[in-house]
Structure 1
Amino acid sequence: MSPEHAHATTAVTSLEPPPHRPARPLSSRLYNEDLAPPAERRWKTYSIFALWMNDVHNIGNYTFAAGLFAIGLGAVPSFFALLIGILVVFWGMNLMGRMGQKTGVPFPVMSRISFGIHGAQIPALIRAVIAIAWYGIQTYLASLAVVVLALRIDPDLKPMTQDSILGLSSLGWICFIGLWVVQLVILTFGMEIIRKFQDWAGPVVWIVMLAMAVWVFVLAGDRISWIPPNALSGPSMWWEMLGAAGLTISTYGTLMLNFCDFSRFAPDTRSVIRGNFWGLPVNFTAFAMVSIVVTAGAYALFGKIITDPAEIIARVPNTFVLVVGALMFAFATIGVNIVANFVSPAYDLANLAPKYINFRRGGIISAILAVAVLPWNLYNSPTVVNVFLSGLGAVLGPLFGVIMVDYWLLRRAKINVPELYTTDRDGEYAYRRGFNPRALIAFLPSAAIATVLALMPAFEILSAFSWFIGALLAGGLYYVVADRNQTFTDVSGEHLGQSTVAAGIH
């Protein structure tokens, strides 16, 4: 495509016409094919819905919903608390989803809009560190189910659980590396294979959960009580409901930040919104309520509240059911790992050196780092999990606030996509040597406040809302300090890959 033809097909929506200049050269420091808008967009409504099934149907969400019953929230208060939280998440996912669908760019490239072409490394690396740590931890947790399964099938393997190699038993290493390899094989084939995997994995877990709910319900019968034995009431109940809603938002704050990594493959905005609707308000709430049904039924059967579904499955007096249940929960963990903890760092690391690292290489590096951090030691250290990961998680809210305000309120969704890949000092997103100081002025103090709220015992009452508070603070501050005297152009990146042949990459 010639530069003249590229300008002829450019949609300009700025208040002033853009200057007529040849396209700036794309930089190999910022561009590769994986970071560019995709040539094909196959993630329709069902694929987005299946993405959320994979992310929602996991042991963590089950434990979270069951935990609400354990702290004294009945089925009805839990339902409304989770619904309120997930509706906020639905709204945030739609905002980021529409950004990704329109521009076609992944999260680290999207961050260049507000933080600058080089400043974008800050949000990208923060997101990558969190994802890599949790990628290893989730793989470790899934391997525990496989260890239990292996011992049930062959009790003679027990001696292999009594040694320790870097903090993990021999059998633990075998199961961990086995799952690690399975995930890596899936992931190295790229986003299209990920889409196909999640299209069937999510529904399978639903079948297991419903089967477990029916089993518990039939055995417990009319003994099930939808009100826990330590039921809360009055102000304490309402505060716990608000806390549950806040924690729901915080839990999905990571994916809310980089959901454009997936929505960029959607053919239209309608597919994103519909997929989000069925996958979040409908599917998340339904899964949570099934989890509460199982928890309430298990309490009626066994006389105690069990928040770990693997423990309930272990009580089923049938080896075949145990095997199927354990495998399905292992696949559920793989599903959430792929969605929440692999795709993001693969793009984020590719953003560090696009000339040398593509999506596949970024994913391999992420997987290797996930083993190198010895995730079982991280998980078994409350200090590391609470301070390091929770502290980093709190700063994701301020990042979201800055990016949303910049894109929707200041730029009014007018983005010059080719300019995201040029290091020209006059480029639209060059700012000051590639960094936007106004974004940093808004982000840094807001991130500090959010971290204090998340970690300091004195502010424990507000810790569940740290992500939300940080997002509001950063977004409001950025709106105040931002430069409003700019005009913006809306230039599609649809033909960016082809135009590089004419413009060249430097």
Structure 2
Amino acid sequence: MAAAPLTGNRQETSTPTDPSLWNEDLAPAKDRRWKVYDIFALWMSDVHNLGNYTFAAGLFVLGLSAWQVFTALLFGFVIIYVGMNLMGRIGQRTGVPFPVVARISFGTFGANLPALIRAVIAIFWYGIQTYLASVAVTLLVLTIAPGLKPLTEHGFLGLHALGWICFVALWAAQGLVLTRGMEAVRKFQDWCGPLIWVVMIALAVWILAAGHWQISLTSSPVRLSTGEQVRQWFGAAGLILSTYGTLMLNFCDFSRFAPDQKTVRRGNFWGLPINSTAFALLSVVVTAGSLQVFGEAITDPAELLARVHNTPVLVIGALTFAIATMGVNIVANFVSPAYDLANIWPKRISFTVGGVISAVAALCVLPWKLYSSPVVVNYFLGGLGAFLGPLFGIMIVDYYLIRRREVDVAKLFTKDSPYHYRHGVNPRALATFLPTAALSAVVALVPFFAPAAPYSWFLGTATSGLLYFAVMRSKRAA
């Protein structure tokens, strides 16, 4: 067993690494090339997509004014900013990815539990997002070449021939980026995220001009009581927390490449409270403009682009939204499972191999069938998503309150260490995770608790953090 060059809170380069726990991709990052703009662009890639546009527009349709949507999401993104800085600090100081960070609290083998939960969620959504991007490309192809319509008349495994061609083409295009490692991911998202701003600003100017530049930020299409407005305002903030709970958990996968914590904080600041809320506000303004211009609130930007009745505009818009969807897919749904699967068998699975396994699995699950099934999306993926809050709570409390930010990074890669716990598993972490994850899932999924469902991530984080702090302190006292 060879000694690895390790960096972090405490360095012991003489500590031998265990091949079952170490490979080059899981080891502390050597090259710290990510600058403020790279992290800012990462958030642009993650935020600028059809799902977030529709989410913000949907809040307006449900009765919140543009100003209320803006303030609710700003509040949510400020909390997310704090959470990302907490997890980002761990990644930046230790230099290791999420599954290795999870070893600190869950154990050298137990870390596979949070890693696999995060990986399964990401793989399913990777397939679904690729499919959604392929739908935009399919519409684009039919607009340019209507003669290809016969390819949509026959299908295989639930998807017509043209759909298969577009899906596989996008799947392969993403693969070209993914198999080249994290440096290629950085370069791709550096230009992918800003690209959609061009289309969004052009769309906003067009709709504002059509509405004679008189779009109200204080009115909404539905009249709500003050109490209902307050409920929806806090619900919107809670839902955005749940949405970003996935990336908040494994943000250390990216922050590990930053040269210092100041870089992480600045990139997060410009990318989250500033850029994300600006994108949400622009989405609502465009939706409000569509209500004034067309007499109905159009929450799908692709449908709005189609009303421009200009083929070049439609082509550019469809391509941009497809590329933007690829951007969020790579950032949120590829990097994590690539590392997570590498953590299971480091000796045989590298970041690239883990990424290939993830991409093939995303293809094999037939994502168009998953997306059309409310049971799968809401209960299976929603249930797994509810587990992310408890995982985050345990890991943050362990690092900041139990260990006081003191971690021997070298010993994360050996079984002869305090992070091996009992046979590689920390029983107290599992004893905390199981009941709090069950509580979070019940609140998120059971109809009776629907009013509290938007707060399931926060509830899971708070309960797991408090319980874990209590059980670990009791261990020390004993």
Question: Which range, TM-score by smaller chain?
Answer: over 0.9
Amino acid at match of 1:46: Y
Backbone CA RMSD of aligned residues: 1.9
Indicate conservation of the 8 Å contact 2:195/2:320, yes or no: yes
Query: For 1:212, what is the secondary structure of its paired residue?
Result: helix
Is residue 106 of structure 2 the alignment partner of residue 120 of structure 1?
Answer: no
Q: 1:441 to 1:207 in 2, by over 3 A?
A: same
264-273 or 231-240, which deviates more: 231-240
Q: Does 1:102 align with 2:98?
A: no
Report if aligned partners of 1:117, 1:435 keep a CA contact under 8 Å in 2. Answer: yes
The CA distance in 2 between the partners of 1:114 and 1:10, in whole Å, is: 16
Counterpart of 1:203?
Answer: 194
C-alpha displacement of 1:225 = 3.3
Query: Which of 195, 207, 218 in structure 1 is aligned with 2:209?
Result: 218
Q: 2:253 aligns with which of 261, 266, 272?
A: 261
2:471 is matched with 481
Residue 446 of structure 1: which of 436, 439, 443 is its match? 436
1:142 corresponds, among 123, 133, 144, to 133
Q: CA deviation at 1:24?
A: 4.0
In the superposition, the TM-score normalised over structure 2's length comes to 0.97
| Residues 425-444 of structure 1: pairs in structure 2 closer than 5 A | 427-444=417-434
Residues 9 and 408 in structure 2, CA contact (< 8 A), matched pair in contact too? no
Residue 166 (structure 2) aligned to one of 150, 153, 175? 175
Aligned counterpart for 1:461 among listed residues 444, 448, 451: 451
Q: CA deviation at 1:11?
A: 6.9
Cα deviation digits, residues 125-153 of structure 1 (max 9, x gap): 00000000000000000000001101111
Residue 90 of structure 1 is aligned with which of 72, 81, 94?
Answer: 81
User: Letter of the aligned partner of 1:375 in structure 2?
Assistant: P
Q: Which of residues 38, 49, 56 in structure 1 aligns to 2:29?
A: 38
Distance in 2, matches of 1:48 and 1:12, equals 26
The separation in 1 between residues aligned to 2:286 and 2:268, in whole angstroms, is: 26
Q: Distance in 1 between matches of 2:354 and 2:312?
A: 38
Amino acid at match of 1:314: A
Matches within 5 A, 1:399-410: 399-410=391-402
CA apart distance, 1:332: 0.3
Residue among 275, 283, 294 paired with 2:286: 294
Measured after TM superposition, the shift of residue 224 of structure 1 is: 2.9
Judge conservation of contact 2:253–2:336 (CA < 8 Å) in 1: yes
In 1, are the aligned partners of 2:9 and 2:93 still within 8 Å (CA)? Answer: no
- 1:22 Cα deviation from its structure 2 partner: 9.6
TM norm structure 1: 0.91
Q: Does residue 1:132 correspond to 2:123, yes or no?
A: yes
Q: Does 1:229 align with 2:221?
A: yes
CA distance in 1, matches of 2:252, 2:221: 43
Cα distance, 1:225–1:12 mapped onto 2, change above 3 Å: closer
Match of 2:183 among 181, 184, 192: 192
Q: In the alignment, which residue of structure 2 is the partner of 1:152?
A: 143
Is the CA contact 2:106–2:430 (under 8 Å) kept in the aligned structure 1?
yes
Partner amino acid for 2:95? G
Q: Secondary structure at the match of 2:156?
A: coil
| 2:443–2:453 CA contact under 8 A, matched in 1 | yes
CA distance in 1, matches of 2:354, 2:306: 38
Task: Evaluate the alpha carbon distance shift between residue 322 and residue 10 of structure 1 in structure 2; reply closer, same or farther with a 3 A threshold.
Answer: closer
Residue in structure 2 matched with residue 496 of structure 1 by the alignment: none
Matched residue pairs, number? 475
Superposed CA deviations along residues 183-230 of structure 1, whole A, max 9, x for unmatched, are: 000111110111111111111111111111101111111553331221
Task: Answer yes or no: is the 8 Å Cα contact 1:225–1:300 preserved in 2.
Answer: no
Identity over aligned residues, as a percent? Answer: 60
| Whole-angstrom CA distance in 2 between matches of 1:483 and 1:230 | 50
Alpha-carbon distance in structure 2 between the residues aligned to 1:352 and 1:45:
32
Paired residues of 1:74 and 1:231 also in contact (CA < 8 A): no
Which of 331, 341, 356 is the matching residue for 1:349? 341
SS at 2:22's partner residue? coil
1:389 counterpart residue number: 381
- The CA deviation string for residues 312-357 of structure 1, in whole angstroms up to 9 with x for no partner, is 0111111000000000000000000000000000000000100000
Contact 2:8 2:408 in 1 (8 A): no
User: 1 CA distance for matches of 2:94 and 2:114?
Assistant: 18
Q: Deviations over 1:139-169 (max 9, x none)?
A: 0000000011011111111111121210101
Structure 1 runs, 4 residues or longer, greater than 2 Å off: 9-13, 21-25, 222-226, 483-487
In 2, Cα distance between the equivalents of 1:12 and 1:64?
A: 43
1:68 counterpart = 2:59: yes
Are residues 358 and 485 of structure 1, via their aligned partners in 2, closer, same or farther at CA, if it must alter by over 3 Å?
same
Q: Distance in 2 between matches of 1:316 and 1:258?
A: 40
Matched, 1:276 2:254: no
CA distance in 1, matches of 2:75, 2:393: 20
Matched-pair contact (CA < 8 Å) for 2:8–2:95 = no
What's the offset of the Cα at 1:38?
1.3
Which amino acid is the alignment partner of residue 156 of structure 1?
A: G
- 2:363 is equivalent to residue 371 of structure 1: yes
Higher Rg: 1
Structure 2 distance, partners of 1:91, 1:222, is 36
Secondary structure at 2:30's aligned position in 1? coil
- Report the alpha carbon displacement of residue 233 of structure 1 after superposing the two structures with TM: 3.3
Instruction: Name stretches of at least 5 consecutive residues in structure 1 with no aligned partner.
Output: 14-20, 488-506
Alignment-mate amino acid for residue 436 of structure 1: N
After superposition, the C-alpha distances for 1:89-128 in whole angstroms (9 at most, x for unaligned) are 0000000001000000000000000000000000000000
